[in-house]
Each structure stands twice: as C-alpha cells, then as structure tokens.
Amino acid sequence: MNLGFVIQDALKRKGYNVHLCRDGKEGLKKFNEHSYDLCVLDVMLPSKDGFSLAEDIRTTNALVPIVFLTAKSQTEDRIAGFKAGGDDYLTKPFSHEELLLRIEAILRRTLGKGDNPRDRDQFEVGAYTFDHRNLVLSHPTEERKLTKKEADVLRLLCLHADQVLPRELVLNMVWGDDTYFLGRSLDVFISRLRKYLKLDPKVAIVNVHGVGFKLVVDRE
C-alpha cells in the first residue's frame, strides 16, 4: 500500500484526480460510483486481485484504459494481464516517471475518442424510456421515480440486454459485496423492477437458474 500512496502523490502533483483503494472489492465499488479516464491496478490486490478486478470492470466498460502493476515478469503473467483487458503492464520495480509517461501517452490516445459505455445514462426498454442519471423510468401512461439502487440494477441489466448478468457481478457492482443476505435483497429488487416493467408484455427479466438474470425485449 505504501507504493500506492507514492503513486497517488506523484499523480496528484501532475494535476490528476486520484482515488486510492486498499483492495480489489473497494476498487470495484469506487469504479461503480465514479467515472474514470484510466485505472492503475496492482495485480496482487487483497480480496480481489487485479486481473479479476479488470475482468469485472470490462463487463460494464470496454473502453477505459487499464494499466497493471506487478512484481511478476513471466510471459504468461503478461499474457494473462492483456487477456483480462489490460492496455499496459509495468513490472516492479519501475520508475515513477515511466509510469507517468505511459499514463500520459494512453490518455492522449484515448480521451475524446468514441462513446464510453459507462457514461451511457439513457436507455430504450421496449415501450419504456429509462433515465439513469435522473432515476426516472417512463412509460407513455406513467412515470416512476426509482431509488438509486433500483436504477443501478436496471442500468446493469440494460447494459447487458439479451446477455446473462451474473448475480455476483450485480451484488459487487451495486452493493460492493456478494453475501447471501445481500443476494436475498437483490431478489427483492428484481421483483420490484419486474413490477415496474409489467406495462409492456414484451419486456421481461428472466431468471437464469444458478447464474443470474437476463433482460429480454421482444422486438418483433
């Protein structure tokens, strides 16, 4: 963690806004709560390692650049990093100046190019319009204000429409944990969302037994 503080200070001196997280679970929670231009992940993070965290990040954001920091130098570890969605890979010990230069190069290449899926806040769901930023689900006959967690769960379903969304991912992204009791809470939220979407029979949230949920919209 000492290295984390050093890197944080170096980045702040360069004018970057930085969030330093003590483990992978906290990192995933922060990522879900904020919008980032780049992530620097230590492979050996507690609770959730950097590779696993990167894979979770990639399920909701295919574009945000990821730089891995690791003490491992074997070729297979580098390959694992790139397979997990990494854009760059630095092996400890490394020069802080080199890290800063690599970050600057990546940001010059990526900022302003394309739409970031994570920034998407407006969705068409059958006859419904969903505004995540303002927590509003609208149907031609009614408008409903959602709670923050209801909106966050629905947004994940929309981002993964017609795909299976694992329960563990929803729990970690929305609640920051995947315990049994939170799992029961998720079931309650899914039931509420089904009720809110019942005005359009072509929209359904399907249970995929033992895995998670799928938002299905019949467009025929």
**What is the C-alpha separation between 77 and 97, in angstroms, rounded?**
23
- Comparing 60 with 37, the larger pLDDT belongs to 37
**Domain spans in the chain, listed from the N-terminal domain onward:** 2-115, 120-217
63 near 117, Cβ under 8 Å? yes
Q: Does residue 52 surpass a pLDDT of 50? A: yes
Gyration radius from the chain CA atoms: 19
Q: Which of 105, 109, 99, 88 is nearest to 8 (CA)?
A: 99
Handedness of CA 211, 185, 49, 87 (dihedral sign): positive
- Using alpha carbons, list the distances in angstroms from residue 13 to 6, 18, 100: 11, 11, 11
- Confidence bin at 70 (pLDDT 50/70/90): confident
The architecture of the domain spanning 120-217 is Orthogonal Bundle (1.10)
pLDDT in tens, 136-181: 999 999 999 999 999 999 998 998 888 888 888 888 778 776 676 6
Mean pLDDT of 55-77: 81
- Can you give 85-135 as a three-state secondary structure string? CCCEEEECCCCHHHHHHHHHHHHHHHCCCCCCHHHCCEEEECCEEEECCCC
**What is the C-alpha separation between 65 and 112, in angstroms, rounded?**
13
Counting residues of the chain whose pLDDT is more than 70, the rounded percentage is 90
Q: Is the pTM of this model over 0.75?
A: no
pLDDT in tens, 116-138: 455 578 899 999 999 998 999 99
Of 54-63, 77-86, 124-133, 175-184, which one has max mean pLDDT? 124-133
Mean pLDDT of 191-214: 94
Mean residue pLDDT of the chain comes to: 85
Of 13-22, 126-135, 162-171, 182-191, which one has max mean pLDDT? 126-135
CATH code for the domain defined by 2-115: 3.40.50.2300
Res 136: pLDDT: 96
122 near 131, Cβ under 8 Å? yes
- Using alpha carbons, list the distances in angstroms from residue 191 to 1, 76, 180, 186, 195: 41, 44, 17, 9, 6
Of 76-85, 161-170, 194-203, the one with minimum mean pLDDT is 76-85
Strand 165-166, strand 212-217: pairing? antiparallel
- Can you give 131-159 as a three-state secondary structure string? ECCCCEEEECCEEEECCHHHHHHHHHHHH
